[in-house]
Every structure is written in C-alpha cells, then in structure tokens.
Structure 1
C-alpha cells in the first residue's frame, strides 16, 4: 500500500506548513499521510514564542508500526523539522529503509541572511544528510548559501545565482534544485538551472507580510510533480498560483496577517487543473 507522506510542523493557529500542505494534496486528489514533526500552539510569526510538542520520541515506534502494517511511502515532502538532531536521524533512517520515488526537501532553518532563532550550524549538516535521499530541493537564498558554506552577499547578480546553483548540485547531487525568494527590482521568484543556464519564474512583489507562502509554493510543486508535470512547469504553475494567493490576501485589509496566506483561490485553481 503506497502512500504520500507529509513531514513538517503543524500549528494549531495559523495557516502554514501542514495546515497548507494537507488541503493542497486533497485538492489534487492525493490522499496524504500526515506526520507533524512538531505540534505548535501557533506558528512562529507574530504570536510570540509558541508552546510545542515534538514527535522525536515516538517516530521510531511509528516506523515500526508501518513496517508491521506493510505501509510504504512513494512520495515524501519534508519541511520544517526543528532543532532536535534526533528527528533528522530518524527521518534519514526512514528514507534509507523506504527509498521513496520522490522526496521533496524544503529546508527550513534560515532567512534574511541568518539562521532562525535557536538554530545552530548542526541543522545545516542534518539537512545536507537528508539531501542524499532527495530528488527535489527548494531552499531559499539564505539556506542555499548556508548549505554550500557561502555568505549571503549584499549584491546578488546572476553570476552569483548560477554559481550557487552549480555548487548546490555538486554538493548535494540532487537532480532538481530551485532557489526561492530571489528578488529583482519589483519582482520575486525562483531560480533554477537548465543546461548550465539560469532560468527564473517571476511574480510581482506585493508589500506586506504573508506567512506560509513558501509552504504553499513547495506543496504545489510537490503535488504537480506527483501529477507528472516536469520540474520547470511545476515551478511556473506553483509560482503563478502562489502569487494569486498573495494578491488575494493583500486585498483583505481586515484579515489578521498572522493567520497566514489565504489558500481558497489556489485550491479552486487546483480543482480545475486537468494535469497531463
């Protein structure tokens, strides 16, 4: 019995991570198994420090039960895992045993040129070990720099992006890599390599804070790849639909931005998507 597995945090309050990935999978017609890497009272943006409960101590027992029940996983999405090294070790063992056909790794440990609060450099090493089992890698610009041991420069040009992508491919051996959160004047998007040439998917920048946009983007890419879209097409569609969600959220002045990006328009788009 093959399954699609989502592994990332679940916030009780706020539409991010699993709260976004689960309805996106459902809209694609993909039944997902959902494993919170940790349960949070709220997500970490704007609510103060949340209370949390990690899955670390029970994940091994989950894996053992799956083996007894002959549950296998064909597709796995991995996002935020926190700072406890044991969860990374457990997931690495799980991936080594299962060898899913598609593992999308959306590392979550840094942004804006620095590590998230409470994170250390060991998390970079842990995500690098997980790259061994991944076919798709979607770091943001800061995370990409940390993964290859570079500093985030003040001025980022195409030559730097190309070298960064090349270094990521060489260090991780992941076949499909895109760097998210790349900006240029009034645009924001993702960069990837095709035949040693940098390609981009762009969307207009929208002022404001929109929590969960990265989670939405990676979930969409994941679902589109499961539906057999090519990587560049998956990036293009995911970028368009995420941009639409941001635009819709920006129109609702009464919406508390801490609750995360609204996904209704994106889910409607997925439901009309015919695929390949």
Structure 2
C-alpha cells in the first residue's frame, strides 16, 4: 500500500489538519502516516485554545522512522507554528524523500488579504524554501501573494486586485501562477478558493497552473468560509498524486467532494469553526 507522511498539527475540535487529512487519504486507498507538529485542544479560529508545540519531539519520531527504513511515497505538509518547524520539515524531506517521492506543500500563512498571527518574514522565507522542494503547492490567493511579495506588498496587491473584475481579475491571478513557477520552479500550482462574484451566480474558483497552461475549476459558492476545507482539498490532491492521477482530475474530484460537504454544513447551520460535514461523502473519493 502507498504511504504518505502527513506533517501537520492535530486539533481535537475543528475538523482540520490531521483530523481532515487522515480520513481523506485513507478513503483514497493510501496509508496516512502522521507526524504531529503540534497538539491543540481545538483549531485556532475559536475564541481560545490550548496548544502544545511538538517541535522538540519531531527529531525522536524521525529517528525511529529512519531505523525502520521508512520511505514514504508522498509527503504532505500544512500548518506550521514557525520557522523552527519549517526547518524540521526541510530536514524530514532531506532524510526521507527520493526522486520518486511526491511532495505537496500547503503554505498556510494567511487568508482574505490578511496574514495569520504566525506569519513572520522568517517563516515566509522558510515556506519559499519548502515550496521549492514540492511537486504541487496549494496556496490560497493571499498566500500566493505572500510567497511572491511578503506581507506589506501583499496587502497593496490585494487592494489592487479587488479593484479588478471579470476577465481582468482572473487574468491577473493566472499571472501569479506563472510567476510562482518561474521564481520557485514548482511544476504544479493550484491557487485555491478564489472568489468570483462578477456574474449572477457567486462562484469559487481554483486555478491550476501546470505545463505552462492555466485551467480554472469553478463551483457555486454556498455559505461562507469553513475550517478545514483547504486541508480536505489538499489531502485529496496528495492522495491522488501518489497514485499518479493527473492534477486536473484531482482538483475536479476535490471540488465535487467539498461541494457536497459544504452544502450539508450550510443546511445544518454548522458553525464555521466546526468544519464541514464531509464524513458521509468519503466513499465518493474511492468510487470516483
């Protein structure tokens, strides 16, 4: 069975990070091998939370895995608490990857034109080093701008983007994918969760940049922003990458999966911090 090392935090409440990745990767017929970067009572969107930083324990886990000759088919990294953890991820890639390892990096640093509290220029530099090791990255629009320009310039670029509409807006985002590839030599880029409200129907777009081609995958926007949707999306992609499924097909699969889960969350009136109702649709990841 194929194996993916999943380096992410474990949040007891909020359906994100490892509690999102493990069931999705497993449903796709791949073994998820978690290496926690932190243990949280609940994800950080809630009013309060307890966090136990696991950075100091990561070396011991890596040492034990190395003793057992562990060689994952894929490596998936998500939320990192700071630049020290990013160094550990880079060390993990050095110790456990080969030329055949599929690496997906979700450079979690911000959303909706705002950098998260964890953001620092040093973390951003480490994320740039990480994405340079990846076959696929899944930044949202804010994170794409942070990777290219840093925080202050990102805020200016975000404001400028909001002044555009229709084809101009989408075209400018397409250019970001091209710039990310040119600057960091990432083969596959998916800029996720792009709001497209130019038409009568509100849509969410995901831009795929691969082989010098841009492809948009849209879905109707239902409800607002929910915890863990980015983690679920990236997990579908990583689960398929190690099975050599093409990136476009995986993005379509992830979008169909999330459409159902978000629709049910809206119907049930689920709080955004509690995540989406994805569990009963896990079977579709295998069937599709």
Q: Does TM, scored on the shorter chain, surpass 0.5? A: yes
SS in 1 for 2:34: strand
Correspondence for 1:62: 61
2:171 to 159, 162, 171: 159
Answer yes or no: is 1:188 the counterpart of 2:218: no
Correspondence for 1:113: 113
Q: Distance in 1 between matches of 2:60 and 2:263?
A: 43
> Given that residues 38 and 51 in structure 2 are in contact (C-alpha distance below 8 angstroms), is that contact kept between their aligned partners in structure 1?
yes
Q: Distance in 2 between matches of 1:266 and 1:80?
A: 24
Q: Structure 1 length normalisation: TM-score?
A: 0.92
> Given that residues 8 and 36 in structure 1 are in contact (C-alpha distance below 8 angstroms), is that contact kept between their aligned partners in structure 2?
yes
SS in 1 for 2:72: strand
Answer yes or no: is 1:262 the counterpart of 2:271: no
1:210-242 Cα distance to aligned partner (Å, 9 max, x none) = 211111111111112223210111111111111
1:90 to 83, 88, 91: 88
Structure 1 runs not aligned, ≥5 long: none
1:174 to 169, 183, 186: 186
Q: Structure 2 length normalisation: TM-score?
A: 0.88
Alignment of 1:97-136 (within 5 A): 97-100=95-98, 101-136=101-136
* Deviation of 1:178 (Å): 1.0
SS in 2 for 1:211: coil
Structure holding more helix per residue: 2
Q: Distance in 2 between matches of 1:121 and 1:109?
A: 11
Answer yes or no: is 1:198 the counterpart of 2:197: no
How many aligned positions are there?
A: 270
Structure 2 runs not aligned, ≥5 long: none
Correspondence for 1:239: 255
1:71 to 1:118, Cα distance in 2 relative to 1, 3 A: closer
Correspondence for 1:138: 138
1:228 to 1:194, Cα distance in 2 relative to 1, 3 A: closer
CA RMSD of aligned residues (A): 1.8
**Deviates most, 164-173 or 109-118:** 109-118
User: What stretches of structure 1 move > 4 A for 4+ residues in a row?
Assistant: none
Q: Distance in 2 between matches of 1:30 and 1:142?
A: 30
SS in 2 for 1:92: helix
> Given that residues 3 and 30 in structure 2 are in contact (C-alpha distance below 8 angstroms), is that contact kept between their aligned partners in structure 1?
no
Q: Distance in 1 between matches of 2:212 and 2:242?
A: 25
> Given that residues 106 and 138 in structure 1 are in contact (C-alpha distance below 8 angstroms), is that contact kept between their aligned partners in structure 2?
yes
> Given that residues 244 and 265 in structure 1 are in contact (C-alpha distance below 8 angstroms), is that contact kept between their aligned partners in structure 2?
no
> Given that residues 261 and 277 in structure 2 are in contact (C-alpha distance below 8 angstroms), is that contact kept between their aligned partners in structure 1?
yes
* Deviation of 1:114 (Å): 1.8
1:219 to 229, 235, 255: 235
